[in-house]
């Protein structure tokens, strides 16, 4: 009966965790009203989370776009349809790869940093110290980081898609000889602003909410030891990545399933 | 880092992000060409549309002037009813314009080609093209060829 007990214990603890995370989110949303007073802190976090993630996003997007251009061309040329290369690259990027890959990179680069930072604050009792001074750490520490993450990810995803398009352009037009006008006109013909572009942006907004939520919660909920912080950081990257991929399927089925 | 530098960098980041969204909406999504121009809808009945799909281009003399908006079946005579949204800049299509379903390349996507007539009256919103030519279905073509050969030999 040992393994049954262990199964039960882990189920109860994960349900407990979900409950704590939900309560945490409710607390967090309740504090959003005073955001105006924390403007400078939000700025600083936007720099930490957004601007410093930009380089990895741009480099990754460029290479993803170039790979899409190369692979897409080699597949399409068999059907004599290499004029649709731009369209293929654009649909992949706007619908899927832009939001999903930037969310995964964001979880790895910014999410883990958020968890480690908040977790260490907890481990070194900085959060307790704030409470002693009647400063709510939720308002001072968590809310600005959360808001910055939610704002940053959709912007990063949009930048990812655009840079990826140019990556595909470099390979498709520069190297493989697809006509430059055809590349852009096939994109404009085939990509719908609501069906494809806006749905992609909605995806990235959802991912921003979820990834940042997981990151700040894991930090706030971490066991205040060095091992606990390290486990929480790992947990953030794993849970956020899985959540992004799972949610991506659900959102895709909702948005594009009927086509 | 000084807070001014941080604010400037964040400003650049937000501007780049919003610029990217705008680029996607306007250049990639083609919102600018949709929003500006007025359009009107004409219909045509085909006995067989082959592989024509919604959003396929409608061309006149090879120039795309609109898109296929909707394809339905006419319940009375079982023909396919194709609704086409045409850019209002081209509102002078004669009433006896004919429409045929053509294929881009040998295996490419299908589109509607319009051939202007000589009538003095123009097609208006909701107008219907009378003269149509259905899609060439490859299987029918091959079947016909085999049939002819069998008859000849």
User: Bigger pLDDT: B153 or B100?
Assistant: B100
- pLDDT over threshold 70, residue A255: yes
- Give CA–CA dist A165/A186, Å, rounded: 12
What pLDDT sits at residue B152?
66
- pLDDT over threshold 70, residue B37: no
- Give CA–CA dist A113/A216, Å, rounded: 10
CA distances A236 to A23, A140, A144, B31, Å, are 18, 21, 18, 38
B31 touches chain A (CB under 8 A): yes
What pLDDT sits at residue A258?
65
Q: Chain B residues with CB inside 8 Å of A40's CB?
A: 3
* Lowest-confidence pick of A10-14, A103-107, B5-9: B5-9
* Cβ within 8 Å, pair A47-B9: yes
What pLDDT sits at residue A192?
80
Q: Beta partners for A12?
A: none
Neighbours of A74 (CB within 10 A): 11
- pLDDT over threshold 60, residue B153: no
* Cβ within 8 Å, pair A154-B33: no
Q: What angle do CA A108, B16, A202 make, to 5 degrees?
A: 60
DSSP H helices, A124-198, are 126-132, 137, 143-169, 180-190
Pick B17's closest partner by Cβ from A43, A158, A165: A158
Q: How far is A170 from chain B (nearest CA, A)?
A: 17
User: Bigger pLDDT: B64 or A126?
Assistant: A126
- pLDDT over threshold 70, residue A55: yes
For residue A45, the surrounding DSSP H or E stretch is: helix A39-46
Q: How far is A167 from chain B (nearest CA, A)?
A: 15
* Cβ within 8 Å, pair B3-A162: no
- Under 8 Å between Cβ of A166 and A65: yes
* Cβ within 8 Å, pair B17-A155: yes
Percent of chain A with pLDDT over 70: 99
Query: pLDDT band at residue B102, thresholds of 50, 70 and 90?
Result: confident
Q: Is-above-0.90 flag for pTM?
A: no
Q: What are phi and psi of A93, to 5 degrees?
A: -70, -50
Q: Identify the residue among A41, A42, A50, A89 best suited for mutation to test binding to B, counting B beta carbons within 10 A and taking the highest.
A: A50
The SS3 of residue B99 is strand
- pLDDT over threshold 70, residue A47: yes
Query: pLDDT band at residue B38, thresholds of 50, 70 and 90?
Result: confident
Percent of chain A with pLDDT over 90: 62
Q: Stretch A64-91: mean pLDDT, rounded?
A: 89
In the block, tokens 């259905």 appear at B134
What pLDDT sits at residue B106?
65
A131-153 exposure pattern, b = at least 16 Cβ within 10 A, e = fewer: eeeeeebbbebbbbbbbbbbbbb
B150 touches chain A (CB under 8 A): no
- pLDDT over threshold 60, residue A132: yes
pLDDT in tens, A141-169: 899 999 999 999 999 999 999 999 999 99
- pLDDT over threshold 80, residue A44: yes
Provide the pairing of β-strand B57-60 with B110-115.
Answer: parallel
- Give CA–CA dist A146/A136, Å, rounded: 15
* Cβ within 8 Å, pair B28-A197: yes
- Give CA–CA dist A214/B140, Å, rounded: 59
- Under 8 Å between Cβ of B24 and B78: no
Which of A207-221, B19-33, B63-77 shows the highest mean pLDDT? A207-221
* Cβ within 8 Å, pair A159-B107: no
What pLDDT sits at residue B31?
63
User: Bigger pLDDT: B69 or B31?
Assistant: B69
Please report the residues numbered 51 through 110 in chain B whose beta carbons come closer than 8 angstroms to any beta carbon of chain A. 55, 57, 105-108
What pLDDT sits at residue A58?
95
């Amino acid at each position: 009966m040992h393994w049954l007990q262990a199964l039960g214990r882990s189920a109860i603890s994960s349900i407990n965790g979900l409950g704590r995370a939900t309560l945490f989110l409710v607390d967090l949303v309740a504090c959003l009203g005073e955001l105006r007073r924390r403007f400078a802190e939000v700025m600083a976090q936007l720099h930490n989370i957004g601007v410093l993630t930009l380089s990895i996003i741009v480099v990754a997007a460029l290479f993803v776009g170039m790979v899409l251009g190369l692979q897409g061309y080699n597949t399409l040329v068999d059907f004599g349809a290499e004029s649709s290369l731009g369209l293929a690259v654009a649909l992949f990027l706007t619908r899927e790869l832009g939001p999903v890959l930037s969310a995964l990179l964001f979880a790895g680069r910014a999410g883990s940093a958020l968890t480690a930072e908040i977790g260490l604050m907890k481990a070194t009792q900085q959060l307790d110290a704030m409470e002693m001074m009647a400063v709510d750490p939720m308002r001072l520490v968590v809310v600005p980081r959360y808001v910055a993450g939610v704002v940053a990810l959709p912007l990063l995803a949009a930048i990812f898609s655009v840079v990826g398009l140019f990556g595909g352009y470099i390979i498709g037009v520069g190297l493989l000889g697809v006509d430059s006008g055809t590349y852009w006109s096939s994109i404009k013909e085939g990509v719908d602003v609501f069906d494809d572009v806006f749905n992609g942006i909605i995806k990235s907004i959802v991912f921003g909410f979820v990834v940042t939520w997981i990151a700040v919660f894991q930090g706030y909920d971490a066991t205040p030891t060095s091992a606990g912080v390290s486990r929480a950081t790992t947990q953030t990257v794993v849970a956020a990545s899985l959540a992004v991929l799972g949610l991506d399927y659900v959102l895709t089925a909702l948005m594009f399933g009927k086509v | 880092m000084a807070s001014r530098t941080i604010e400037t960098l964040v400003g650049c980041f937000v501007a780049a992000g919003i610029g990217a969204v705008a680029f996607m909406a306007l250049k990639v999504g083609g919102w600018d060409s949709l929003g500006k121009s007025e359009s009107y809808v004409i219909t045509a009945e085909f006995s067989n549309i082959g592989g024509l799909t919604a959003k396929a281009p409608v061309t006149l003399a090879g120039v795309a002037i609109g898109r296929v908006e909707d394809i339905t079946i006419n319940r009375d005579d079982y023909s396919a009813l194709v609704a086409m949204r045409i850019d209002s800049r081209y509102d002078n299509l004669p009433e006896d314009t004919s429409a045929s379903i053509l294929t881009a390349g040998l295996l490419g996507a299908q589109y509607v080609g319009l051939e202007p007539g000589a009538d003095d009256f123009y097609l208006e919103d909701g107008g219907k093209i009378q003269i149509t030519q259905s899609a060439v279905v490859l299987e029918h073509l091959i079947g016909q060829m085999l049939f002819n050969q069998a008859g000849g030999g």
